[in-house]
Amino acid sequence: MVNRTKLNWSHVTPKPLWLNRRALIAGIGATALASPALAKIAAKPSQFSTDVEPNTLEEITNYNNFYEFGWDKTDPAANAGQLTTDPWSVTVDGLVDRPGTYDLADIMKDRPLEERIYRFRCVEAWAMVIPWIGFELSGLLNRFGVQPSAKYVAIQTLLRPEEMPGQRAGGINWPYVEGLRLDEAMNPLTIMATGLYGENLPKQNGAPLRLVVPWKYGFKSIKSIVKISLVAEQPPTTWQQLQPSEYGFYANVNPEVNHPRWSQATERKIGGGFFASRQETLKFNGYGDEVAGMYAGMDLAKNY
């Protein structure tokens, strides 16, 4: 809703689209329209990628919890099409040297895009493997000049009930908000995703910009981001406000700490077939080497 009429960065074609267009023209010239390289976003592979086979695009885009578009897993795919993702701007405020409202193209400017094939674990005890394309959040935050007094990052999803039917229904106090401790936000595993399977992020997956924190339950990975605030105090988060006994601020994947109503010891792999699709859940979703140090000395059962 911000700066929608003003001429700004969104009127500049984003580089990936521009590249696609060039590739398309080249493609027509070469009459090789079906070439797989055609619409791919250029993204470097990453050492943090898992070598587990990713879920199919169909699975990733038709099984979403994005309550802004409805309660059912298939609702986002059905309803997210109406979301306007261009123009898109992100407000950066709080304890930063360069606050402001930045257009998406500006946010993405000079961000090195990488493909990160990450395990994804939902608090509902299902799991996928997703080939995200994105950039490290730390690089973005550093651009704004994080002040020493900043301890947390608070992130907000778009509030636009006219395009997000779920926001017209009750149940959740919109907009959706999430947050990370600053060291979590600065961890190299934490990315802002803008793409998936070599394409721009599908709307049901949180286009045009979403957080991905692979060692935490999926609800931490907030979608369709419009605001990033650097703050001194732990910010409120949607699920924690909704049900504090069940969803904590940290929400680290942990098979030893069960959800009060269900076990987190195992998970069902989506696309795993009818038999034996259940697998052991790994602590920190398997990213312990990279992240466990941040929680040294913390009681993870208490800080769930």
Site for another protein (CB under 8 A): which residue of 62, 91, 101, 138? Answer: 62
Find out whether 251 and 242 touch, Cβ atoms under 8 Å: no
User: Total binding residues for another protein by CB under 8 A?
Assistant: 27
Closest C-alpha among 249, 136, 252 to residue 189: 136
Nearer to another protein, 10 or 167 (CB): 167
262 counts as binding another protein under rule CB under 8 A:
yes
Site string for another protein, 85-124 (x = CB under 8 A): --------------------------------------xx
The C-alpha R_g of the chain, in whole angstroms, comes to 19
Neighbours of 35 (CB within 10 A): 13
Compute the distance between CA of residue 239 and CA of residue 262 in angstroms, rounded to an integer. Answer: 16
Compute the distance between CA of residue 208 and CA of residue 104 in angstroms, rounded to an integer. Answer: 8
For residue 278, say whether it is annotated as part of any ligand binding site. no
271 counts as binding another protein under rule CB under 8 A:
yes
Q: How far is the CB of 90 from another protein (least distance, A)?
A: 28
For residue 221, say whether it is annotated as part of any ligand binding site. yes
- Contact partners, residue 104, CB within 8 Å, separation at least 6: 9, 10, 14, 86, 87, 88, 89, 90, 208, 209
276 counts as binding another protein under rule CB under 8 A:
yes
245 counts as binding another protein under rule CB under 8 A:
no
Q: What is the secondary structure of 28-89 as a DSSP string? A: HHTT-TT-TTTTPPP-EE-TT---SPPPPHHHHHSS---GGG-SSTTHHHHHGGG---SS-E
Find out whether 144 and 97 touch, Cβ atoms under 8 Å: yes
User: CA torsion 208→212→216→219, rounded to 10°?
Assistant: 0
Q: How far is the CB of 239 from another protein (least distance, A)?
A: 9
For residue 222, say whether it is annotated as part of any ligand binding site. yes
Neighbours of 134 (CB within 10 A): 27
Helix/strand number for the chain, H first, E second: 9, 13
Site for another protein (CB under 8 A): which residue of 12, 71, 97, 245? Answer: 71
Q: How far is the CB of 278 from another protein (least distance, A)?
A: 4
217 counts as binding another protein under rule CB under 8 A:
no
40 counts as binding another protein under rule CB under 8 A:
no
Q: How far is the CB of 77 from another protein (least distance, A)?
A: 10
Q: How far is the CB of 72 from another protein (least distance, A)?
A: 10
74 counts as binding another protein under rule CB under 8 A:
yes
Nearer to another protein, 13 or 243 (CB): 243
124-126-129 Cα angle (round to 5): 135
Give the range of 12-20, 45-53, 56-64, 136-144 binding another protein by CB under 8 A. Answer: 56-64
Site for another protein (CB under 8 A): which residue of 66, 102, 120, 126? Answer: 126
Find out whether 118 and 212 touch, Cβ atoms under 8 Å: yes
Nearer to another protein, 98 or 261 (CB): 261
Compute the distance between CA of residue 83 and CA of residue 96 in angstroms, rounded to an integer. Answer: 30
Binding residues for Mo-molybdopterin: 64, 67-68, 122, 157, 205, 210, 221-223
Binding site for another protein (CB under 8 A): 58-59, 62-63, 67, 71, 73-74, 123-124, 126, 171-172, 242, 261-263, 265-266, 268, 270-271, 274-278
